[in-house]
Every structure is written in C-alpha cells, then in structure tokens.
Amino acid sequence: MSEGTDGAAADRELLERIRAAPVLAGPLLTFDPDRAPGAPGPLFAAWLDRALADGVPEPQIMTLSTAAADGTPSARVLMLRGVDSADCAVVFAGDRRSGKGRDLAANPVAAVSWYWPAHGRQIRMTGPVDALDAGTARRDYLGRSPASRAAGLAGVTSAPLGSLAEYARERRAAQERVAAEPDAVPEGHTVYRLRARQAEFWQADPERGHLRLHYTRDGDGWTRTLLWP
C-alpha cells in the first residue's frame, strides 16, 4: 500500500521540479486599492463573484485554521456555506466532535483563507466564531444531497476508523438510514459563523509588484491599510 519513492536523490529531483513549476505566471487580474470599498465584505463578495463568473476551480473551498486550548494550530480545507457581506462574516459547517469542533469549543476564534491561482488572489480573514442554533444546522444538513447526508451519518469525523470493512459497513447502513429516515441529522452537525475582525486582500502581479490591502474592524466601521507584500 506504499506510494512514491524513497531517498535523498528522489527528494532533490522533486525539489528541482517544484522550483521549475510556474507560479503567478499570469495573465492575472489587477486590483486598484484606491478604488476598493470602505468595508471588506463587499470586496470579498466581488472577488468571489468574479471567481465564480470566470470558472475558477472550486472558489468556495477555503482553509480554516484553528488552535487548540494549548495553542497547537490545525488547518484543513472546508466548504464556504454562506456569506454575510454586509457584516463581513462567513459560514461553514462541520461536526462539533471533530478536531475543528473541539478546537473551536476551547478557543472560539479562527482564520479562513482562500487562494485562487487563476486570478492570483489570496484572501484572509480572522475573527471570533459562533456556533449557530440547531435549526440552522438542521436546515444546512437537510439541504444536502442524499449521498452527502449519508456520508455525514456514517461514523464521527476525526474519530479513529477501525478498518475499511467497518467503513463499508457503516456507509451502507447510513445510506439505508437516509432512505428510511430522510430527516436524519448527525448529532454533532454544527454551522459556524466567523465574523471577521481583520480581512486582507492580496493581488499578485506577474512582475512581482504584488498589492496587499488590510482591513481592521474599528467600531462600526473599518480602517484600511496598505501593507508591504
């Protein structure tokens, strides 16, 4: 079941290929920070809208970074499940018994980030995270496809899985449960809302004149600052 090759020579060869791989090659989009809105939510919505319109692959996929009570960080990829651009908040979902759920219970603040290579754009947000009510979690879950609902009902995200045979058995049982009980929702399913305290927009330039615009929440408004890239 092993994949790949071993050894320092293979690592060097891999590194050479990594170094030769094109990055930020363009053509990329441009960005004029002087014309950016006074709040980051509308800018996020505009960049996401453009990514969707241009067919950027999976622009709804984001990295969520959390920290455990002892400060140990963890990052993983998730789906964006909602946007509140007026308040610069984003919504995602997962099991509260998973690693991220445990981190957020102990330390309810997180970072989310996106990178859309075809546009040369990175967006980052950090802020406090709230778990939304059970009705919201239920609606979120029941809006998913039967296959996705069955996947969430088999086992508990991040708990050890005994064997592939157990996996196949539990998946089959979950598919049967979804057919018999279409309203079933996993006990731990939770919708979370991150309200940005800070947001940052990074526009790459093939000539390396990258631009970085940072927003910090300031009372009811936002302070905008250019940062060295």
**100 near ligand FMN, judged by CB under 6 A:** yes
Residue whose structure tokens are 């196949």: 168
Task: Name the amino acid, one letter, at 176.
Answer: E
The residues in 162-221 that bind ligand FMN, with binding defined as CB under 6 A, are none
User: Encoding tokens for residue 168?
Assistant: 């196949």
- Under the binding rule (CB under 6 A), the answer on residue 77 touching ligand FMN is yes
Place of tokens 């979804």: 178
Residue 153 CA to residue 189 CA, distance in Å, equals 9
Residues 33, 36, 42, 74: which binds ligand FMN (CB under 6 A)?
A: 74
- Our CB check for ligand FMN shows the closer of 36 and 68 to be 68
Please report whether residue 142 would count as binding ligand FMN according to CB under 6 A. no
Cα–Cα distance between 210 and 195 in angstroms, integer? 26
Measured from the CB atom, is 39 or 178 closer to ligand FMN?
178
Question: 44 vs 92, which CB is nearer to ligand FMN?
Answer: 92
**Calpha distance 126→195 (Å, rounded):** 8
Q: Is there binding between residue 97 and ligand FMN (CB under 6 A)? A: no
Nearer to ligand FMN, 86 or 142 (CB): 142
The site map against ligand FMN for 5-44 (x = CB under 6 A) is ----------------------------------------
Inter-CA distances, 93 with 51, 61, 130, 198, Å: 22, 12, 11, 21
In the numeric block, which tokens belong to residue 20?
Answer: 């030769």
Q: Does 79 interact with ligand FMN (rule: CB under 6 A)? A: yes
Q: Does 78 participate in binding ligand FMN (rule CB under 6 A)?
A: yes
Tokens standing for 35? 């014309």
**What minimum distance in Å lies between the beta carbon of 42 and ligand FMN?**
24
Length of the chain: 229
Who contacts 218 (Cβ-Cβ below 8 Å, separation ≥6)? none
Nearest residue (CB) to ligand FMN, 158 versus 198:
158
The tokens describing 207, both together, are 């000539």
Give the residues across from 128 on adjacent strands: 109
Closest CB to ligand FMN among residues 98, 126: 98
User: How far apart (Å, rounded) are the C-alpha atoms in residues 99 and 77?
Assistant: 13
Contact between 129 and 193 (Cβ < 8 Å): yes
Residues near ligand FMN (CB under 6 A): 61, 74, 76-79, 92-94, 98-100, 157-158
